[in-house]
Amino acid sequence: MDKVTQLFYDREADVLYLSIGEPRRAISREIGDDVLLRIDAETETVIGLTIMNLSTRFGELDSPQSLPITIDLHESAS
């Protein structure tokens, strides 16, 4: 069964969380300005992405929108 990708936007913190499967503990690696790759510490697989200061990048998000984000999760996290 494929894992479900979940998105959650915290408007107060202005942070977008992307989780592959159920959100869980992870270590984070900064891969760009305010962009963190979330990695499972045991398996070293990518399990999510965190984008901070989202409205700075895309403007205010008052309603559901399509965001121009391309993610290649096939690359090794190590």
Domain ranges for the chain, please list them: 1-78
Give tens-digit pLDDT for 51-77. Answer: 999 988 877 766 555 555 565 655 554
Q: How far apart are CA 54 and CA 41, in angstroms?
A: 26
Q: Give the 3-state secondary structure of residue 27.
A: strand
Token pair in block for residue 31: 């891969």
Sequence-ordered alpha helix ranges (H) in 1-78: 54-58
Q: Give the 3-state secondary structure of residue 19.
A: strand
pLDDT at 77: 47
pLDDT exceeding 70 applies to what percent of the chain? 74
